[in-house]
Structure 1
Amino acid sequence: MSIALEDVLARAGLRVTATEFLSLVEDAARKLAPPHPDPGAYFSADQRAALAAVGVDLSPRADGERDPRAKAVASQAVLRDSAMTVAEAAERVGVDTSRIRHRVSAGRLTGWKDRGGWRLPAWQFTDSGVLPGLGMVLAKVPADQPQMVVAAFMTTPQEDLLLGDRPTSPRDWLLAGGDPRRVATLASTLGTPA
């Protein structure tokens, strides 16, 4: 299996061995939720009753049923593996590492502390710098939004951002010279009910 996995990782452009990737997956799965969660256990009796009344199934997953955590775990592992270190980001942008740390603390770049230091999601960088208008967008992202949510938003086509007649991702919109205020407005609604 590791040869096939290494082929997939190489085709995806991920700089990690099969063993390292599987370790990332295991770590992400452990952080996400217990292996056999009982959905009802997360809610009070009143909350369970209210959710059941509107048709929400809170029964535990049956044996053999696909684990809904799998996609989230894989996405988390890819986000973590493709993220840059402060040194890599500094080299990409052409500045000193202290400038990258300053941009993170000022909210003009986003990232998270990980073993070994800061990790900065790759989606916020271009081949030679930082995504145009990024600071304006990040200033509007609600502080409670996880890195996975922000990454998914920035890389998923949005109906409100059209290039020609085709929905485009906020990242591609900004790369094409689109108005960052439109992306910032959309970003400000992350985590709110549709």
Structure 2
Amino acid sequence: MTSASSYEPITRYLSGELAFEDALHAVTGLSVERAALVGVLETLAADTGVATASVSYHDEKLLSDAGFHEKPGAVAVMTVQRDVQLQQVISESLTVSEVAERLGVSTARVRQRIAARTLWSFLWGDRRLMPSAQFTPHGVVPHMDEVIARLRPDSHPLEVHKILTVPQPSLTRRNGNAQSIADYLSRAPVSEEELQRVLDLVDAASWATV
């Protein structure tokens, strides 16, 4: 049951006490800067089709299973939430020049690694970007080339980000806390068995919605 406190941010937003991005954070837990919302507005403005969002079979099934099939706003909420998350991934991603500087190599070498699929990148407008989750502060996450080799070539940036950053119950260290693939590979050396467990997770996640 939804509590009255759940609607408090909405009431405060309607009264003008909260900015939209603050109300969105209070309701969804998403930390969103106003600059990221510009990207959402641009996405919505570019949609000249019918004012109903289309979703994949997978997303439609998730909505139906969650009981949202009779709530028209659910698809719109999912779409906006996904756009906000995508804008955050884009804002945190690195350019070819930034990666070259971090790795201490030329931009040509970075492009070679992208072509060889040992670094994962995507085009956003006229920019080639690389999600930050595949990097450490001074290099590339160990075994990331093997992880990238298991990703579908047509993977979406948000999908790749989630595969690398969402904690996995089967990946734990001594403290017993679930870790993401990126954290698990970067915190300590892994055995062949541990690496295979990671790669199996990548396979399952990357091909789950095909």
TM-score (norm 2): 0.68
Corresponding residue of 2:180:
169
- C-alpha change, 1:163 and 1:147, in structure 2 (3 Å) is same
> Greater helix percent: which structure?
2
Deviant stretches of 4+, over 6 Å: 31-35, 53-56
| Cα separation, 1, equivalents of 2:54 and 2:149 | 34
C-alpha displacement at 1:55, in angstroms? 9.6
Aligned: 1:192 with 2:203: no
Q: How does 1:1-194 map to 2 (within 5 A)?
A: 18=34, 20-29=35-44, 36-37=51-52, 58-59=69-70, 61=72, 67-164=77-174, 165-177=176-188, 178=190, 179-190=194-205, 191-192=207-208
Corresponding pairs, count: 175
Unaligned runs of 5+ in 2: 1-17
- Which has the higher relative contact order, 1 or 2, with Cα contacts under 8 A spaced 6 or more apart? 1
Structure 1 Cα separation of the partners of residues 178 and 102 of structure 2: 28
Q: CA deviation at 1:70?
A: 2.5
Q: Which runs of 5+ in 1 are unaligned?
A: none
Residues 73, 175 of structure 1: CA spacing in aligned structure 2 closer, same or farther, 3 A cutoff?
Answer: same
Deviation of the 1:141 alpha carbon: 1.6
Name the TM-score, length of structure 1 as normaliser. Answer: 0.73
> 1:73 Cα shift?
1.3
Which amino acid letter does the alignment assign opposite residue 156 of structure 1?
Answer: V
Contact 1:93 1:129 (C-alpha < 8 Å) held by counterparts: yes
